[in-house]
Amino acid sequence: MPNGEGTGVNAPDETAERDHALKAGHRAMWALGDYPALAREIIPTLGATLVQACGISPGARVLDVATGSGNAAIPAALAGGAVVACDLTPELLEAGREQAVRHGVKIDWRPADAEALPFADGEFDVVMSCVGVMFAPHHRAAADELVRVCRPGGVIGLLSWTPEGFVGQMFAAMKPYVASPPPGVRPPPLWGDEEHVRSLLGEHVEDLAMRRQTVRVGLFDTPEGFRDYFKSHYGPTIAAYRGIADQPERVAALDRELAELARRHDPAGGAMDWEYLLVTAHRSKHPTAG
C-alpha cells in the first residue's frame, strides 16, 4: 500500500525503521525521572476510578494496556481480576512488580507495544488503560488493538487527559520546545476528546459512554514547585528540557510557561483540578466487516 510520502520502493522498510526509532525513543523517555513516584503521589486514585467504571469482578480476565507502574492494574487485581499488565518500558514494569508485591497481589507483567499486542483475539473480558494508551503514537492502530483483544461483549475502559484540561495545556505549552513528531503521530490529549474517541471506537463498540471528570492535585505549594517536580520526575518534561539544554533563553522561557500554567490553574496556591475523559464501552457482538 502506498504511504503517500514519495520515498520510493524502499518506503515500507524506511517506515518500519522510523517507527522502530520512534518506539525506542518513547521507551527511553518514559524511563527518565520517576514516573512511578509521580503516579503514586499525584494521581493515586485514577486507577481505582477506572476499575470501578469497568465493573471488574472476581475472575474477570483483565488487560491493562500501557500500564506504567500498575496504577490501574493493581486496583484491578485487588478487585479480584486475573490481570495482565503490559507496557513498552521495562523499567516501569519492574516498578509495578515491586508495588504489586507490597499490595499482596499477583499480576502477569509483560513488555508489549500497545500498537501490536502479543495476545489472541478476544482473550480478555476487560481491556483498559489509565492515561497510558493515549501516548501510543498511532491512535488508530492502538484503538484497533484494544478492540481486537477484547472479547465480544467485553468491556473497554479508558481514562485520558483532555486537550482543554491542565495536562493537555501542559503539552501545548511544551510543544514549541520539542521536535515535531513524524508524520502520522497524533497528539496524546486527543484521546480526551469525545469526537476523536468516537471516531476510533464507534463502529466497533456498543454502549459507548463518555464523561469528563477531574482529579484534585494538591501536592504543590507554588507554581514553581509544580514545574520543578515535573522537570525531575516526568519523562516528557525532562526530555523537552534536555532538547534545549544548550539554549538558556529557551530554558528560561519554558520555565516561565510551566510556572504560569500552574499559576493560572491554582491562583490561590491550594490545589488544582486536572480534567480527564472517562470512557467505557462494550465490544460489539456483531463486528463490522473490514
CB 216 within 8 Å of CB 271: yes
5 is a domain residue: no
- Compute the distance between CA of residue 270 and CA of residue 275 in angstroms, rounded to an integer: 17
Torsion from C-alpha of 184, 190, 191, 193, nearest 10 degrees: -140
Residues 6+ apart with CB under 8 A from 27: 88, 89, 90
54 assigned to some structural domain: yes
Please enumerate in sequence order all residues whose Cβ is within 8 A of that of 279, keeping only pairs 6 or more positions apart, or say none.
156, 157, 158, 159, 160, 197, 201, 208, 209, 210
Q: Is 249 exposed, middle or buried (0-12, 13-18, 19+ CB in 10 A)?
A: exposed
* Residue 289 lies inside a defined structural domain of this protein: no
Q: 171: domain range?
A: 12-283
Does the residue 269 lie in any domain? Answer: yes
Q: CA-CA distance, 16 to 43, in Å (whole number)?
A: 35
- Whether residue 288 is contained in a domain is answered as no
How far is residue 227's CA from residue 257's CA, in Å, rounded to a whole number?
Answer: 9
Beta carbons within 10 angstroms of residue 171's beta carbon: 17
Report if residue 225 sits inside a domain.
yes
What's the maximum distance between 2 C-alpha atoms anywhere in the chain? 59
In a domain, 290, yes or no: no
The number of domains in the chain is: 1
The predicted-structure confidence for 102-158, as pLDDT tens digits, reads as follows 999 999 999 999 999 999 999 999 999 999 999 999 999 999 999 999 999 999 999
pLDDT of 7 higher than 50: no
In a domain, 4, yes or no: no
pLDDT digits (tens, 9 = 90+) for 256-272: 999 999 999 998 778 99
Model confidence band, residue 290 (pLDDT cutoffs 50, 70, 90): very low
- CATH number of the domain to which 113 belongs: 3.40.50.150
